[in-house]
């Protein structure tokens, strides 16, 4: 029997939700309803430097105001570090990750000086063991990066890797998409100080929560290429993807926290009714 349709809305509590988030949550919620499936809410709070409890509280309040309901208990990523560490351990044991001691700036410089310039994503390699031991002894910070060359060797190339896109990527990509994890380079999966990074946490959670359909904005389309590779390396089930368009404001620009888009709480404070907002966004 096929797994029951399960999707999720996975905001990070690093700001207040705006119309773009409402559109994304409503899209996933409506899809779950249409399929008589499950709608989950997941709090992606692994970034301890940016998360704030008031943003998390506002997520629940704003989504309830919008008329959404979700399954409980809600998964909060910061409470599941063990799950991510278990996945990281496995990748370590299989030689699929390496410690990278380069700073962000050094990585940017390496990319800029690569033969294909900015087109080339970062790919590094582990340090020789004695040099690594020296840095570790000196307490140097490092990140765990996924080694694309090790992953390629393990899978015999990425040719057999693809994912199903039922929505559309930023350039209209739809259907069976060949995965190109090399677009992202050797991504960071964990940091010594912050613990797990986005791609690993999302991939592990989607699998553990039985997510069959990843519904999210097409700004995350490229992430699917990397996440599909992680699924293959960790023997996790493969969800279907439905990336949706990004909502733009009257000026044609997309809604984003950094542009100070009007938040759902501001809308509410000036008397906008949830029904009116849902209708404006194309629901109801
Ligand atoms: N937490 C991510 C964000 O707020 C979304 C992750 C996902 O949907 O895969 O952008």
Residue percentage of the chain with pLDDT more than 90: 81
* Of 58, 77, 49, residue with least CA distance to 17: 58
Q: Supply the residue whose CA is at minimum distance from atom 7 of ligand 1.
A: 10
At 25-56, the pLDDT tens digits run 999 999 999 999 999 999 999 998 999 999 99
Q: Supply the residue whose CA is at minimum distance from atom 4 of ligand 1.
A: 11
Given a cut of 80, whether residue 256 has pLDDT beyond it is: no
- More confident of the two residues 119 and 74: 74
Structure confidence at residue 123 as a pLDDT band (50, 70, 90): confident
Structure confidence at residue 111 as a pLDDT band (50, 70, 90): confident
| Residues having CB within 6 Å of any atom of ligand 1 | 10-12, 44, 202, 216, 220
* DSSP for 2-63, written as a single string: PPPPEEEE---SSS--BHHHHHHHHHHHHHHHHTT-EEEEEE----TTT--HHHHHHHHHHH
- Atom from ligand 1 closest to the CA of residue 227: 9
């Amino acid at each position: 029997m096929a797994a029951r349709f399960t999707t999720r809305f996975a905001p990070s509590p690093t700001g207040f939700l705006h119309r773009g988030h409402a559109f994304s949550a409503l899209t996933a919620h409506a899809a779950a309803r249409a399929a008589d499936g499950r709608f989950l809410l997941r709090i992606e709070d692994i970034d301890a430097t940016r998360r704030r409890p008031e943003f998390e509280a506002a997520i629940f309040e704003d989504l309830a105001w919008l008329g959404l309901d979700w399954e409980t208990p809600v998964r909060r990523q910061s409470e599941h570090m063990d799950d991510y560490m278990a996945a990281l351990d496995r990748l370590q044991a299989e030689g699929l990750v390496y410690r990278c001691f380069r700073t962000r700036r050094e990585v940017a410089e390496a990319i800029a000086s690569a033969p294909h310039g900015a087109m080339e994503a970062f790919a590094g390699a582990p340090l020789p063991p004695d040099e690594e031991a020296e840095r570790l002894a000196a307490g140097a910070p490092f990140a765990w990066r996924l080694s694309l060359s090790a992953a390629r060797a393990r899978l015999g190339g990425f040719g057999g890797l693809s994912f199903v896109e039922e929505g559309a990527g930023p350039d209209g990509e739809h259907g069976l998409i060949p995965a190109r994890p090399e677009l992202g380079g050797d991504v960071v999966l964990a940091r010594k100080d912050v613990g797990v990074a986005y791609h690993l946490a999302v991939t592990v959670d989607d699998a553990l929560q039985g997510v069959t359909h990843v519904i999210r904005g097409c700004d995350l389309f490229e992430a699917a290429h990397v996440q599909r590779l992680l699924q293959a390396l960790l023997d996790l089930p493969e969800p279907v993807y439905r990336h949706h368009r990004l909502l733009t404001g009257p000026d044609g620009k997309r809604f984003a926290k950094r542009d100070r888009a009007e938040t759902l709480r501001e809308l509410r404070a000036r008397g906008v009714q949830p029904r009116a907002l849902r209708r404006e966004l194309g629901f109801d």
